[in-house]
Amino acid sequence: MKKGLISMGVLLAFFTGCTPTPSQQSLTLSGLDPSRFEKMIDETKPVKLFTLKNESGMEVCITNFGARIVSIMVPDKNGKMTDVVLGFDNIEDYIHVPSDFGATIGRYANRIGQGKITIDGQEIQLPQNNFEHCLHGGPTGWQYQVFKANQTDGQTIKLTVESPDGDNNFPGNVIASVTYTLTENNAIDIQYEATTDKKTVINLTNHSYFNLNGDPSVGSMNQILYLASDSITPVDSTLMTNGEMIAVAGTPFDFNTPKAIEQDVTNFDNEQIKFGNGFDHNWVLKTKGDINQVAAKLTSPITGITLEVYTDEPGIQLYTGNFLDGTVKGKNGISYPQRASVCLETQHYPDSPNKAHWPSVILEPGKTYNSRCIFQFGVVK
Protein backbone atom coordinates (compact mmCIF):
# COMPACT_ATOMS: atom_id res chain seq x y z
CA MET A 1 0.00 0.00 0.00
CA LYS A 2 1.33 3.46 -0.87
CA LYS A 3 2.29 5.84 1.91
CA GLY A 4 -0.41 8.32 2.81
CA LEU A 5 -3.29 5.92 2.25
CA ILE A 6 -5.34 5.08 5.31
CA SER A 7 -5.77 1.37 6.03
CA MET A 8 -9.23 -0.16 6.07
CA GLY A 9 -8.68 -1.10 9.72
CA VAL A 10 -8.02 2.51 10.71
CA LEU A 11 -11.08 3.71 8.76
CA LEU A 12 -13.20 1.10 10.49
CA ALA A 13 -11.90 2.17 13.89
CA PHE A 14 -12.63 5.83 13.06
CA PHE A 15 -16.23 5.25 12.04
CA THR A 16 -17.09 2.67 14.69
CA GLY A 17 -15.12 4.02 17.59
CA CYS A 18 -13.36 0.63 17.90
CA THR A 19 -9.64 0.00 18.01
CA PRO A 20 -8.27 -2.95 16.01
CA THR A 21 -6.99 -5.71 18.27
CA PRO A 22 -3.23 -6.35 18.41
CA SER A 23 -3.70 -9.66 16.59
CA GLN A 24 -5.64 -7.95 13.81
CA GLN A 25 -2.90 -5.38 13.47
CA SER A 26 -0.07 -7.93 13.38
CA LEU A 27 -1.40 -10.76 11.24
CA THR A 28 0.97 -11.84 8.50
CA LEU A 29 -0.06 -11.79 4.85
CA SER A 30 -0.67 -15.54 5.17
CA GLY A 31 -3.04 -14.90 8.10
CA LEU A 32 -0.72 -16.11 10.88
CA ASP A 33 -0.87 -14.52 14.33
CA PRO A 34 2.75 -14.18 15.55
CA SER A 35 1.58 -14.19 19.17
CA ARG A 36 0.52 -17.82 18.74
CA PHE A 37 4.15 -18.75 18.04
CA GLU A 38 5.63 -17.12 21.14
CA LYS A 39 6.75 -19.62 23.76
CA MET A 40 9.62 -20.29 26.15
CA ILE A 41 10.84 -23.88 25.87
CA ASP A 42 12.87 -25.46 28.70
CA GLU A 43 12.68 -22.06 30.45
CA THR A 44 15.64 -20.71 28.45
CA LYS A 45 14.81 -21.13 24.76
CA PRO A 46 12.45 -18.52 23.28
CA VAL A 47 10.47 -19.42 20.17
CA LYS A 48 8.72 -16.94 17.89
CA LEU A 49 7.64 -16.31 14.31
CA PHE A 50 9.82 -14.37 11.89
CA THR A 51 8.70 -12.78 8.64
CA LEU A 52 10.68 -12.12 5.46
CA LYS A 53 9.30 -9.84 2.73
CA ASN A 54 10.61 -8.50 -0.55
CA GLU A 55 9.66 -5.47 -2.62
CA SER A 56 7.44 -7.51 -4.95
CA GLY A 57 5.22 -8.57 -2.06
CA MET A 58 6.34 -12.18 -1.50
CA GLU A 59 6.27 -13.25 2.16
CA VAL A 60 7.95 -16.16 3.96
CA CYS A 61 7.18 -16.94 7.61
CA ILE A 62 9.65 -18.98 9.65
CA THR A 63 9.78 -20.28 13.21
CA ASN A 64 13.04 -21.03 15.00
CA PHE A 65 11.47 -24.23 16.36
CA GLY A 66 13.11 -26.66 13.96
CA ALA A 67 14.12 -23.74 11.72
CA ARG A 68 10.86 -24.37 9.88
CA ILE A 69 9.20 -22.61 6.98
CA VAL A 70 5.61 -22.06 8.12
CA SER A 71 4.12 -20.26 5.11
CA ILE A 72 5.16 -19.03 1.67
CA MET A 73 2.97 -16.43 -0.04
CA VAL A 74 3.56 -16.05 -3.78
CA PRO A 75 1.41 -14.59 -6.60
CA ASP A 76 -0.55 -16.92 -8.88
CA LYS A 77 -1.20 -16.32 -12.59
CA ASN A 78 -3.85 -13.71 -11.72
CA GLY A 79 -1.70 -11.96 -9.13
CA LYS A 80 -3.56 -13.49 -6.17
CA MET A 81 -1.22 -14.12 -3.24
CA THR A 82 -1.28 -17.82 -2.40
CA ASP A 83 0.16 -19.91 0.44
CA VAL A 84 1.94 -22.87 -1.16
CA VAL A 85 3.17 -24.94 1.82
CA LEU A 86 1.53 -27.07 4.49
CA GLY A 87 2.03 -26.35 8.18
CA PHE A 88 0.42 -25.29 11.44
CA ASP A 89 -0.77 -21.86 12.59
CA ASN A 90 0.54 -22.16 16.17
CA ILE A 91 3.63 -23.38 17.99
CA GLU A 92 1.79 -25.89 20.17
CA ASP A 93 0.89 -28.05 17.18
CA TYR A 94 4.48 -27.99 15.93
CA ILE A 95 5.60 -29.16 19.37
CA HIS A 96 2.94 -31.78 20.05
CA VAL A 97 1.91 -33.11 16.61
CA PRO A 98 4.80 -35.10 15.09
CA SER A 99 5.58 -33.68 11.66
CA ASP A 100 8.38 -32.55 9.38
CA PHE A 101 6.38 -29.64 7.92
CA GLY A 102 8.87 -27.07 6.61
CA ALA A 103 11.64 -28.30 8.90
CA THR A 104 15.41 -28.22 8.73
CA ILE A 105 16.27 -31.92 8.99
CA GLY A 106 19.46 -33.06 10.73
CA ARG A 107 21.84 -34.40 11.70
CA TYR A 108 21.16 -36.83 8.92
CA ALA A 109 18.24 -36.35 6.56
CA ASN A 110 16.61 -39.55 5.31
CA ARG A 111 17.47 -43.06 6.52
CA ILE A 112 20.55 -44.79 7.92
CA GLY A 113 20.29 -48.58 7.70
CA GLN A 114 19.62 -50.32 11.04
CA GLY A 115 20.71 -47.07 12.67
CA LYS A 116 24.36 -48.12 12.43
CA ILE A 117 27.35 -46.08 11.30
CA THR A 118 31.04 -46.94 11.54
CA ILE A 119 33.63 -44.20 12.01
CA ASP A 120 37.34 -45.06 12.19
CA GLY A 121 36.46 -48.69 12.84
CA GLN A 122 34.07 -47.96 15.69
CA GLU A 123 30.45 -49.00 15.20
CA ILE A 124 27.93 -46.55 16.60
CA GLN A 125 24.29 -47.46 17.23
CA LEU A 126 21.84 -44.67 16.48
CA PRO A 127 18.11 -44.61 17.32
CA GLN A 128 15.95 -46.91 15.21
CA ASN A 129 12.81 -44.86 14.80
CA ASN A 130 11.56 -46.03 11.38
CA PHE A 131 11.43 -49.68 10.24
CA GLU A 132 14.45 -50.26 12.54
CA HIS A 133 16.37 -47.56 10.66
CA CYS A 134 17.41 -44.12 11.87
CA LEU A 135 15.22 -41.56 10.09
CA HIS A 136 15.83 -37.80 9.97
CA GLY A 137 18.33 -37.74 12.81
CA GLY A 138 16.30 -39.82 15.24
CA PRO A 139 13.16 -39.15 17.30
CA THR A 140 14.51 -35.84 18.62
CA GLY A 141 16.24 -34.65 15.46
CA TRP A 142 16.83 -31.00 14.75
CA GLN A 143 13.28 -30.49 13.47
CA TYR A 144 12.30 -30.60 17.16
CA GLN A 145 15.12 -28.39 18.47
CA VAL A 146 15.11 -24.66 19.14
CA PHE A 147 17.52 -22.69 16.95
CA LYS A 148 18.97 -19.32 17.91
CA ALA A 149 17.64 -16.75 15.48
CA ASN A 150 19.39 -13.71 14.05
CA GLN A 151 17.29 -11.79 11.56
CA THR A 152 19.81 -9.44 10.01
CA ASP A 153 17.31 -7.59 7.81
CA GLY A 154 13.83 -7.89 6.34
CA GLN A 155 14.90 -10.53 3.86
CA THR A 156 17.50 -12.66 5.69
CA ILE A 157 17.50 -14.79 8.83
CA LYS A 158 20.22 -17.07 10.18
CA LEU A 159 19.22 -19.86 12.55
CA THR A 160 21.84 -21.75 14.55
CA VAL A 161 21.68 -24.97 16.57
CA GLU A 162 24.31 -26.39 18.93
CA SER A 163 24.10 -30.17 18.91
CA PRO A 164 26.09 -31.81 21.73
CA ASP A 165 28.30 -34.88 21.43
CA GLY A 166 25.96 -37.87 21.76
CA ASP A 167 22.87 -36.07 20.46
CA ASN A 168 20.75 -39.05 19.35
CA ASN A 169 24.08 -40.87 19.80
CA PHE A 170 25.74 -39.03 16.90
CA PRO A 171 29.38 -38.21 17.74
CA GLY A 172 30.83 -34.71 18.00
CA ASN A 173 29.78 -31.32 19.27
CA VAL A 174 28.26 -29.81 16.13
CA ILE A 175 27.40 -26.19 15.48
CA ALA A 176 25.13 -25.89 12.45
CA SER A 177 23.27 -23.03 10.82
CA VAL A 178 20.70 -22.49 8.12
CA THR A 179 20.37 -19.10 6.47
CA TYR A 180 17.19 -18.21 4.62
CA THR A 181 17.40 -15.31 2.18
CA LEU A 182 14.35 -14.06 0.30
CA THR A 183 15.57 -12.54 -2.96
CA GLU A 184 13.95 -9.81 -5.02
CA ASN A 185 13.17 -12.28 -7.81
CA ASN A 186 10.98 -14.43 -5.51
CA ALA A 187 13.49 -17.11 -4.57
CA ILE A 188 14.27 -18.59 -1.16
CA ASP A 189 18.03 -19.16 -1.05
CA ILE A 190 18.86 -21.70 1.69
CA GLN A 191 22.46 -22.12 2.82
CA TYR A 192 23.62 -24.65 5.40
CA GLU A 193 26.89 -24.74 7.35
CA ALA A 194 28.18 -27.07 10.05
CA THR A 195 31.38 -27.71 12.00
CA THR A 196 32.32 -30.45 14.48
CA ASP A 197 35.01 -31.31 17.03
CA LYS A 198 34.81 -35.06 16.26
CA LYS A 199 34.44 -36.93 13.00
CA THR A 200 30.71 -37.32 12.33
CA VAL A 201 28.12 -37.54 9.54
CA ILE A 202 26.03 -34.63 8.26
CA ASN A 203 23.25 -34.45 5.68
CA LEU A 204 20.84 -31.50 5.89
CA THR A 205 17.71 -30.66 3.94
CA ASN A 206 14.50 -28.67 4.04
CA HIS A 207 11.29 -30.67 4.33
CA SER A 208 8.66 -28.27 3.00
CA TYR A 209 5.42 -29.82 1.78
CA PHE A 210 4.47 -27.94 -1.40
CA ASN A 211 0.96 -27.55 -2.76
CA LEU A 212 1.18 -24.98 -5.54
CA ASN A 213 -2.58 -25.33 -6.14
CA GLY A 214 -3.08 -23.39 -2.91
CA ASP A 215 -5.78 -25.76 -1.65
CA PRO A 216 -4.36 -28.43 0.68
CA SER A 217 -7.81 -29.80 1.48
CA VAL A 218 -7.61 -31.86 -1.71
CA GLY A 219 -4.90 -33.92 -3.35
CA SER A 220 -2.07 -32.25 -5.24
CA MET A 221 -1.02 -35.00 -7.60
CA ASN A 222 -2.20 -33.01 -10.63
CA GLN A 223 0.96 -30.94 -10.23
CA ILE A 224 3.35 -31.35 -13.12
CA LEU A 225 6.89 -32.43 -12.28
CA TYR A 226 10.25 -32.37 -14.03
CA LEU A 227 13.25 -34.14 -12.49
CA ALA A 228 16.73 -33.93 -14.03
CA SER A 229 17.65 -37.54 -13.37
CA ASP A 230 18.40 -40.75 -15.24
CA SER A 231 18.37 -43.07 -12.20
CA ILE A 232 17.08 -43.66 -8.70
CA THR A 233 18.49 -45.49 -5.69
CA PRO A 234 15.89 -48.28 -5.24
CA VAL A 235 14.55 -49.32 -1.85
CA ASP A 236 13.26 -52.45 -0.15
CA SER A 237 9.98 -52.83 1.72
CA THR A 238 11.45 -50.86 4.66
CA LEU A 239 12.37 -47.99 2.31
CA MET A 240 16.08 -48.73 2.69
CA THR A 241 18.49 -48.42 -0.23
CA ASN A 242 20.74 -51.33 -1.21
CA GLY A 243 23.59 -49.39 -2.80
CA GLU A 244 22.42 -49.87 -6.38
CA MET A 245 21.18 -47.41 -8.97
CA ILE A 246 18.57 -48.30 -11.56
CA ALA A 247 17.68 -46.40 -14.73
CA VAL A 248 14.38 -44.52 -14.85
CA ALA A 249 13.94 -44.83 -18.62
CA GLY A 250 10.78 -46.73 -19.45
CA THR A 251 9.58 -46.68 -15.82
CA PRO A 252 7.13 -44.53 -13.82
CA PHE A 253 10.17 -42.81 -12.30
CA ASP A 254 11.11 -40.99 -15.51
CA PHE A 255 10.28 -37.29 -15.12
CA ASN A 256 12.79 -36.05 -17.70
CA THR A 257 9.73 -35.17 -19.73
CA PRO A 258 7.42 -33.23 -17.39
CA LYS A 259 4.24 -35.07 -16.45
CA ALA A 260 1.48 -34.99 -13.85
CA ILE A 261 2.51 -36.93 -10.76
CA GLU A 262 -0.90 -38.61 -10.63
CA GLN A 263 -0.08 -40.43 -13.85
CA ASP A 264 1.98 -43.02 -11.97
CA VAL A 265 1.90 -42.29 -8.23
CA THR A 266 -0.52 -45.17 -7.53
CA ASN A 267 0.90 -47.59 -10.10
CA PHE A 268 1.26 -50.32 -7.49
CA ASP A 269 2.09 -52.90 -10.13
CA ASN A 270 5.52 -51.34 -9.88
CA GLU A 271 7.26 -52.86 -6.86
CA GLN A 272 9.13 -49.67 -5.99
CA ILE A 273 5.95 -47.60 -5.92
CA LYS A 274 4.26 -50.31 -3.87
CA PHE A 275 7.10 -50.20 -1.33
CA GLY A 276 6.80 -46.42 -0.99
CA ASN A 277 2.99 -46.33 -1.12
CA GLY A 278 3.66 -43.79 -3.85
CA PHE A 279 6.85 -41.91 -4.62
CA ASP A 280 9.27 -41.80 -1.67
CA HIS A 281 12.62 -42.24 -3.39
CA ASN A 282 15.96 -40.58 -4.04
CA TRP A 283 16.70 -39.47 -7.59
CA VAL A 284 20.35 -39.24 -8.69
CA LEU A 285 20.64 -35.80 -10.23
CA LYS A 286 22.20 -35.17 -13.63
CA THR A 287 23.09 -31.65 -12.50
CA LYS A 288 26.13 -33.08 -10.68
CA GLY A 289 26.24 -30.34 -8.06
CA ASP A 290 25.87 -27.42 -10.49
CA ILE A 291 23.74 -24.90 -8.59
CA ASN A 292 22.96 -23.10 -11.86
CA GLN A 293 21.08 -26.01 -13.41
CA VAL A 294 17.44 -26.80 -12.70
CA ALA A 295 17.28 -30.01 -10.66
CA ALA A 296 13.48 -30.11 -10.44
CA LYS A 297 10.48 -28.07 -11.50
CA LEU A 298 6.95 -28.29 -10.11
CA THR A 299 4.00 -26.56 -11.80
CA SER A 300 0.37 -26.13 -10.80
CA PRO A 301 -2.03 -26.40 -13.74
CA ILE A 302 -4.60 -24.50 -11.64
CA THR A 303 -2.74 -21.45 -10.29
CA GLY A 304 0.11 -21.38 -12.80
CA ILE A 305 2.58 -21.14 -9.92
CA THR A 306 5.94 -22.77 -10.62
CA LEU A 307 8.74 -23.91 -8.33
CA GLU A 308 12.24 -24.54 -9.65
CA VAL A 309 14.73 -26.27 -7.36
CA TYR A 310 18.47 -25.66 -7.64
CA THR A 311 21.06 -27.46 -5.51
CA ASP A 312 24.72 -28.39 -5.18
CA GLU A 313 23.69 -31.75 -3.69
CA PRO A 314 23.92 -35.01 -5.69
CA GLY A 315 20.39 -36.20 -4.99
CA ILE A 316 16.80 -35.18 -4.35
CA GLN A 317 14.07 -37.06 -2.50
CA LEU A 318 10.60 -36.89 -4.00
CA TYR A 319 7.98 -37.64 -1.35
CA THR A 320 4.33 -37.38 -2.31
CA GLY A 321 2.71 -37.16 1.13
CA ASN A 322 1.78 -40.83 1.06
CA PHE A 323 1.44 -41.13 4.82
CA LEU A 324 -0.83 -38.13 5.32
CA ASP A 325 -4.27 -39.52 6.14
CA GLY A 326 -6.57 -36.63 6.97
CA THR A 327 -6.09 -36.86 10.74
CA VAL A 328 -3.71 -33.89 10.96
CA LYS A 329 -5.29 -30.45 10.86
CA GLY A 330 -3.09 -27.64 9.67
CA LYS A 331 -3.44 -23.92 9.03
CA ASN A 332 -7.04 -22.65 9.01
CA GLY A 333 -8.20 -25.96 10.51
CA ILE A 334 -7.80 -27.77 7.19
CA SER A 335 -7.35 -31.55 7.38
CA TYR A 336 -4.50 -32.70 5.18
CA PRO A 337 -5.53 -35.71 3.09
CA GLN A 338 -3.21 -38.29 1.58
CA ARG A 339 -0.95 -36.83 -1.12
CA ALA A 340 -1.92 -33.24 -0.37
CA SER A 341 1.61 -32.12 -1.11
CA VAL A 342 4.95 -32.74 -2.75
CA CYS A 343 8.32 -32.68 -0.96
CA LEU A 344 11.53 -32.07 -2.91
CA GLU A 345 14.37 -32.68 -0.44
CA THR A 346 17.87 -31.92 -1.73
CA GLN A 347 20.37 -34.30 -0.14
CA HIS A 348 23.17 -36.81 -0.22
CA TYR A 349 21.85 -40.30 -0.87
CA PRO A 350 20.10 -42.29 1.90
CA ASP A 351 22.38 -44.51 3.98
CA SER A 352 25.51 -42.97 2.46
CA PRO A 353 27.49 -43.62 5.68
CA ASN A 354 27.23 -47.33 4.85
CA LYS A 355 27.81 -47.04 1.10
CA ALA A 356 31.51 -46.33 0.58
CA HIS A 357 31.09 -46.00 -3.21
CA TRP A 358 28.64 -43.09 -2.83
CA PRO A 359 29.61 -39.45 -2.14
CA SER A 360 30.87 -39.10 1.43
CA VAL A 361 28.87 -37.50 4.22
CA ILE A 362 31.75 -37.50 6.73
CA LEU A 363 32.53 -34.16 8.40
CA GLU A 364 35.90 -33.87 10.10
CA PRO A 365 37.17 -31.37 12.69
CA GLY A 366 38.63 -28.32 11.03
CA LYS A 367 36.37 -28.73 8.00
CA THR A 368 33.08 -26.96 7.24
CA TYR A 369 30.02 -28.65 5.81
CA ASN A 370 28.30 -26.52 3.18
CA SER A 371 25.12 -27.18 1.25
CA ARG A 372 22.82 -24.93 -0.74
CA CYS A 373 19.29 -25.14 -2.10
CA ILE A 374 17.29 -22.50 -3.96
CA PHE A 375 13.50 -22.56 -4.24
CA GLN A 376 12.72 -20.27 -7.17
CA PHE A 377 9.06 -19.31 -7.58
CA GLY A 378 7.46 -18.06 -10.74
CA VAL A 379 4.29 -18.28 -12.80
CA VAL A 380 3.13 -19.50 -16.18
CA LYS A 381 0.01 -18.00 -17.73
CA neighbor of 227 nearest in space, from 313, 340, 308: 308
Annotated catalytic residue within 59, 193, 313, 345: 345
Order of strands, edge to edge, in the sheet holding 343-347?
246-247, 229-233, 280-285, 315-319, 343-347
Torsion of the alpha carbons at 72, 76, 79 and 83, rounded to the nearest 10: -30
CA–CA gap between residue 236 and residue 307 (Å, rounded): 30
Cβ contacts of 322 within 8 Å, gap of 6 or more: 276, 277, 278, 279, 280, 338, 339
* 279 close to 273: Cβ distance less than 8 angstroms: yes
* 143 close to 161: Cβ distance less than 8 angstroms: no
149-186: burial string, b at 16+ Cβ within 10 Å, e else: bebeeebebbbbbebeeebbebbbbbebbbbbbbeeeb
Please confirm, yes or no, whether 162 is among the known catalytic residues.
Answer: no
Torsion of the alpha carbons at 183, 53, 63 and 98, rounded to the nearest 10: -80
How many CA atoms within 13 Å lie on the side-chain side of 180? 34
Please confirm, yes or no, whether 345 is among the known catalytic residues.
Answer: yes
Q: How far is CA 226 from CA 42, 83, 133, 261, 285, in A?
A: 43, 22, 30, 10, 12
CA–CA gap between residue 105 and residue 109 (Å, rounded): 5
Annotated catalytic residue within 136, 207, 281, 348: 207
CA–CA gap between residue 261 and residue 176 (Å, rounded): 34
Give the active site residues.
207, 345
